[in-house]
Structure 1
């Protein structure tokens, strides 16, 4: 379930990325990668602060992949609504959350939520390592991971996010909106992913707790003081891990 770039009902959001840049040629390369893409409404680049702000209805992982095609290191930093202002003040939104999904085998996933308006919650998910069968994603009452998805309680009202089927690489993505779910009510609850069996039964695969997340311009971290590594060191490790997984 995803928004089509040409769909007039598609919900746009702004995404903040740290991109390793040194000069205006880097900025032009970023523009050339993003500006022609359907579903990208605007691109703002600040070379001095290594900042790229993109307004788009695409999945953030898709936008990040486009940015990585420039050959630069890229780190996703924040997710927000489509308010005014680019670098001077954060676009207005009403809360953001993230869910790190863990479960059986090597399956991993990430769910991002942002309350783009008081009425609309935008939800996107990227999950890797799944078998090529339909999977159901839902929001549950409790953030109790003691027994995986079996201890998360019932699905909350409006919590059925949808069904996804992984591609040949085992990756599934979801991009949807809800007029029922509100980010401020979801913190501490859980997201659960089930594999739909041939007999119609559901088998738990992954789950994770909904945690508050940084919005636009709220994550300025460039150095991990405890380990002495920069965000670019972390980006290299993450990229290597992804390459090994694929």
Structure 2
């Protein structure tokens, strides 16, 4: 059973009508326990067990965009942008994994995929974060000396439109994942098997620390001068979800 956790989104709201519309859309999602909208800070806080990707979709269904601002508390959230390293692919981004630690030993992984061929895929955490040659240089599955490696996350089904989403619960801590890599592939890895090639249907990314709830209140990037909404548009164009 998935443990309850908190997720915060930046959402452009102008009045109580916006609040009612967003609250109504979110409370219809199974697993949502509580929704709080703050007009002054332009933040929407959701408590429950629903996947952040489903919450984003619900907010967008009201005609508003949403930016995930954090999940969980300080040092308990991570993110991984998944890309293909197959040569000559114009748009390499294939998915996003959001991770939040909801107890001392349990982490929720919200994995979404777009743009991969239909079929069954296997998600794994790899020993190292070297993705210089894609999945080939990520090493074996994390803690592969065990009968069932902790890095074996599970499977997901990509539909005919190239889309998949799964919410996984694993007995791991965020600090154990930072700096490692994640691989999503049709190849079913074992502790003695490593990748030998970069297929177009293999996606890989480095797991990085993400701001926890309320930790990141940035509205303008100091290096680019862009607002978070400008950055959001750039990411969507690149295939981010």
TM-score by shorter chain over 0.5: yes
* Alignment root-mean-square deviation, CA: 2.3
SS at match of 2:24: helix
Which 4+ runs in 1 deviate beyond 6 A? none
Q: Evaluate the alpha carbon distance shift between residue 233 and residue 160 of structure 1 in structure 2; reply closer, same or farther with a 3 A threshold.
A: same
Asked if the contact 1:44–1:52 (Cα under 8 Å) also holds between the matched residues in 2, the reply is: yes
Match of 2:35 among 21, 35, 43: 43
Residue 185 to residue 37, structure 1, CA distance change in 2 (3 Å):
closer
Question: Deviation digits for residues 160-198 of structure 1, max 9, x if unmatched?
Answer: 00111101210121211112x22111111111111249x
Residue 225 of structure 1 corresponds to which residue in structure 2? Answer: 222
Residue 18 (structure 2) aligns with: 26
Classify the secondary structure of the residue corresponding to 2:57. Answer: helix
CA contact (8 A) 2:78 2:178 kept: yes
In the superposition, relative to structure 1, how do residues 107 and 233 fare at CA in structure 2: closer, same or farther (>3 Å)? closer
TM-score normalised by the chain length of structure 2: 0.84
Whether contact under 8 Å (2:113, 2:165) holds in the other structure is yes
- C-alpha separation in 1, matches of 2:40 and 2:79: 28
Equivalent runs, 1:1-246 vs 2, <5 Å: 9-80=1-72, 92=73, 95-103=76-84, 104=86, 105=89, 106-157=92-143, 158-179=150-171, 181-196=172-187, 205-239=202-236
Tell me, in whole angstroms, the C-alpha distance in 1 between the residues paired with 2:63 and 2:155: 34
Q: 2: CA distance between counterparts of 1:97 and 1:129? A: 23
| Consecutive unaligned residues in structure 2, runs of 5 or more | 144-149, 189-193
Name the CA distance, whole Å, in 2 between partners of 1:47 and 1:24: 8
**CA distance in 1 between partners of 2:115 and 2:93 (Å):** 4
- Structure 1 spans left out of the alignment, 5+ residues: 1-8, 81-91
Distance 1:133 1:18 in 2: 34
Q: Distance in 2 between matches of 1:114 and 1:40?
A: 16
The DSSP-based 3-state class of the residue aligned with 2:97 is: strand
Contact 1:136-1:162 within 8 A present in 2 as well: yes
Contact 1:93 1:117 in 2 (8 A): no
TM-score, normalising length: structure 1? 0.82
- The structure whose RCO (Cα within 8 Å, separation 6+) is larger is 2
Give the secondary structure class of the aligned counterpart of 1:37: coil
Pairwise CA distance, 1:136: 0.7
Indicate conservation of the 8 Å contact 1:73/1:235, yes or no: no
